Amino acid sequence: MFRMRFEYLALSLALACFAAGCGESRGDAKAEAPPAAVVEHEQDVNIVRVDHPEQFPLFTAVAHAATTQLAATGVVAPDVARTVPVISIATGRVVEIKARLGDTVKKGQLLMRVQSADIASAFSDYQKAVADEKLASTQLERAKLLYEKGAFSLNDYQTAEDVENKAHVDVETAAEHLRVLGSPLDHPSGIVDVYAPVSGVITDQQVTNAAGVAGLGSPNPFTISDLSDVWILCDVYENDLAEVHVGETADIRLNAYPDRVFRGRIGNIGPILDPNLRTAKVRIEVANPGLMKVGMFVTATIRSEKKEMHAAIPAAAILHVHDRDWIYAPAGEKKFRRVEVTLGETLPNKMQEIAAGVEAGQQVVSNALVLQNTVDQ
């Protein structure tokens, strides 16, 4: 009886669920579909629209024949042939320094004083050589006198003469040793003075007070460089080496003095490339007017004999924004397009050479700043 009631209840529940499903209305497929995608076209930020384009006169770019140029960065370095090390023959301790790094010195100027025991040893050898030479000279005179009287053989006389000659050589050698060490023969001292061998600027210093000097051993106490002529060492990429030739000229601009232009000449192109950067060292030789300091960064514009046709436009047509240069060119009715350009040389009559971005015959707005200010308003 209980089982029959349970089956009846289950059947009733099933019929109720089926009736509820049949009575429910079906959903609208269009209402449930996602909305249609709307494509928003991004506006070109380099296109500007003006209401009165006639207010901005146009200029037609003219052709300009220019030499091929290659810009390379470099640093100022001393001419190796004009760099002279300062050495001390005597080994000892520095007791006084008369010049320092960066000083301009003259040839023969006292640079430092070194206390050395080499002078005492050299002077001792010199005095011994003088005493030996004096004895040998006396013996030679005696042998000559005896030989003339027939009491001395020719062989003994020649031997005495040879001894005297060798003693004289020893005296000269000991004296030269003292002179090389920097000590006079009449007043020897334990202090050796070191003088500048040439005039120039001290570009390296490896000694201080109380420091030891190892004679001819490295490092050298000082290095003097003549900076009247310097080198500009530039890195030129492998792909640009075909445009660089020995003997061509280059314009040098110092980062510290961008308004000054110096003219140099390519003296050497390094035969070995940097394996990491694929660059070669190009040496530009230039006269130093006194402004170039060792280590200064420069920009070298290398000019070749090859001619290229570029465009020229008024300097006022160029707009400098965010470290880039732009011009405005017509782009349809009441529209102008901003175009990035690469500048070349500054030409006479307030004209500017354009290396890339504008071609001869193309029209540009003659005063880009006026148009830019109008757009900003």
Of the listed ranges 65-69, 208-212, 362-366, the least confidently predicted one is: 65-69
Q: Is the pLDDT of residue 99 over 60?
A: yes
Judgement on whether residues 217 and 230 belong to the same structural domain of the protein: no
Residue 143 belongs to domain with CATH number: 1.10.287.470
Judgement on whether residues 95 and 137 belong to the same structural domain of the protein: no
| Domain assignment present for 303 | yes
Q: How does residue 36 score in pLDDT terms, banded at 50, 70 and 90?
A: low
| Domain assignment present for 293 | yes
The residue range of the domain holding 105 is 84-112+196-223
Q: Supply the pLDDT for residue 2.
A: 45
Average pLDDT value for residue range 49-59: 85
The structural domain count of the chain equals 3
Judgement on whether residues 180 and 128 belong to the same structural domain of the protein: yes
Judgement on whether residues 283 and 370 belong to the same structural domain of the protein: yes
pLDDT tens digit sequence for 174-201: 888 888 887 778 777 788 889 999 999 9
Residue 98 belongs to domain with CATH number: 2.40.50.100
Average pLDDT value for residue range 220-243: 92
Of the listed ranges 10-14, 68-72, 162-166, 292-296, the least confidently predicted one is: 10-14
| Domain assignment present for 309 | yes
Look over the chain and give the mean of its residue pLDDT values, rounded to a whole number.
84
Cis peptide before 34 (omega within 30 of 0): no
Identify the residue with better confidence: 10 or 156. Answer: 156
Q: Supply the pLDDT for residue 267.
A: 93
323: left (phi over 0), alpha (psi -120 to 50) or beta: left
Judgement on whether residues 345 and 263 belong to the same structural domain of the protein: yes
Judgement on whether residues 212 and 94 belong to the same structural domain of the protein: yes
| Domain assignment present for 360 | yes
Judgement on whether residues 143 and 99 belong to the same structural domain of the protein: no
Buried b (16+ CB within 10 A) or exposed e, 141-178: eebeeebeeeebeeeebeebbebbeebeebbeebbebb
Average pLDDT value for residue range 284-293: 92
Average pLDDT value for residue range 57-68: 84
Q: Of 231, 241, 297, nearest to 70 (Cα)?
A: 241
| Domain assignment present for 104 | yes
Residue for token digits 């709307």? 38
Q: Is the pLDDT of residue 137 over 70?
A: yes
| Domain assignment present for 21 | no
Q: Is the pLDDT of residue 101 over 60?
A: yes
Q: Supply the pLDDT for residue 41.
A: 47
Q: Is the pLDDT of residue 45 over 50?
A: yes
